[in-house]
Structure 1
């Protein structure tokens, strides 16, 4: 009888331990692919896991923006994964295999409105500032790739504001992208300043509007462009058909129209 009782207690204890293990090691992510623009619990987990191993340094908020996108691309590059900025199944599996995710801690801090981080190798208690609203880094500080200087970003913002301040946001990003595309094109100068100030290239330079003070929207458009968003689809020219005086520009193969601008090859 005692032997049966001991065996029963052993099996009961083993069962409790197994349940506890699986409860604390639930399957990572929900199975959906995550890309820029995604929101929700899966993105919270993605940001937390990327921060755990030092790739993501922004706020864990469940919004997949360019900060998350760039961190994910860097992770993919370092671990030999396809570099597409999308957290598909292979990326999620790799990330889950080398990180821990304390869902209760992370979501608990978000619910309390605490400023916190989730870096591996540090005690969780030391990473919480209770009741403190997260400090927002500027877009330029947090999300600009290191290859671009502050001067590059400011000059691009001036150009976008001078050329396209009345355009929809997508159109402003597209104008910034055209400048970046020219930098990479063999027919144009190989620097942002060289492209912008190339004689006759931009109306805003010719009429002095390049020196207007850009607004935050123009700066954000620049950040989106230098982080890889190209609504122009690799265009190297654009023009306003209402005001264009050059017959030559009409000969360029047209890609698309955004707002008042037509973007061309």
Structure 2
């Protein structure tokens, strides 16, 4: 399974716009106070749905937008400069992709369960034998059910984004797990051989 199967997974217009800008500027301050209005508007829409911007998008990169970017950078472990360069752009993509997985995999779970799913993705990034980018981790064959059944394409709610941010900030309810599964519906015998760490809601978390 890979992203090409889902032609609809061109995450959102902001990421397309930023990608174009990065190719032109080589990521030297992609979005900042002097940026074009439509680019800023799309950034603000994303910051708003993630909970970082408290006002409606205006297209003006003023103090509120700069502050929201700085808060996002701080929460996700980036250098804080209030501009959207290559690393911030990449992190915006990471958070969006992870929130879609959390929403698709743990929408009916407790908030702790949502954070645990996000943590599994981050734990895989640090674990030998897994890819080293969020995109590669979530697109591994049969890694996440939501990638196969289309639920990845659903729009995440605010709690999915917040769960991802909490995971980035170090909360790991999974206690270092790199796997999780619902024992009542799992059909892959291999997953039952993994060492179970804990249960959170319907999911068993394992190493």
1:241 paired to 2:145: no
Alignment-derived partner of residue 202 in structure 2: 260
- SS for the counterpart of 1:170 is helix
Q: CA 1:184/1:259 → structure 2, altered by over 3 Å: closer, same or farther?
A: same
Q: Take 1:252 and 1:143, find their aligned partners in 2: how far apart are those partners?
A: 32
Name the count of aligned residue pairs. 130
Unaligned residue ranges in structure 1 (runs of 5+) = 1-135
Alignment-derived partner of residue 149 in structure 1: 91
Paired residues for 1:21-170 under 5 Å:
137=68, 140=72, 143-146=75-78, 149-170=91-112
Alignment-derived partner of residue 232 in structure 1: 174
Alignment-derived partner of residue 53 in structure 1: none
- SS for the counterpart of 2:199 is strand
Alignment-derived partner of residue 147 in structure 2: 205
The structure whose RCO (Cα within 8 Å, separation 6+) is larger is 2
- SS for the counterpart of 1:262 is strand
Question: What is the CA-CA distance between 1:137 and the residue it aligns to?
Answer: 4.3
Superposed CA deviations along residues 83-136 of structure 1, whole A, max 9, x for unmatched, are xxxxxxxxxxxxxxxxxxxxxxxxxxxxxxxxxxxxxxxxxxxxxxxxxxxxx9
Question: What is the CA-CA distance between 1:149 and the residue it aligns to?
Answer: 1.1
Taking structure 2 as the reference length, the TM-score comes to 0.60
Are the counterparts in 1 of residues 75 and 168 from structure 2 also a CA contact under 8 Å?
Answer: no
Unaligned residue ranges in structure 2 (runs of 5+) = 1-66, 79-86
Q: Take 1:197 and 1:167, find their aligned partners in 2: how far apart are those partners?
A: 22
Between structure 1 and structure 2, the one with the greater Rg is 1
Q: Take 1:182 and 1:211, find their aligned partners in 2: how far apart are those partners?
A: 22
Are the counterparts in 1 of residues 95 and 164 from structure 2 also a CA contact under 8 Å?
Answer: yes
Superposed CA deviations along residues 123-164 of structure 1, whole A, max 9, x for unmatched, are xxxxxxxxxxxxx94874662221661001111101100110
Alignment-derived partner of residue 219 in structure 1: 161
1:174 paired to 2:116: yes
Q: Take 2:73 and 2:158, find their aligned partners in 1: how far apart are those partners?
A: 14
| Cα-Cα RMSD | 1.7
Segments ≥4 residues shifted beyond 6 Å: none
Alignment-derived partner of residue 5 in structure 2: none
Question: What is the CA-CA distance between 1:245 and the residue it aligns to?
Answer: 0.5
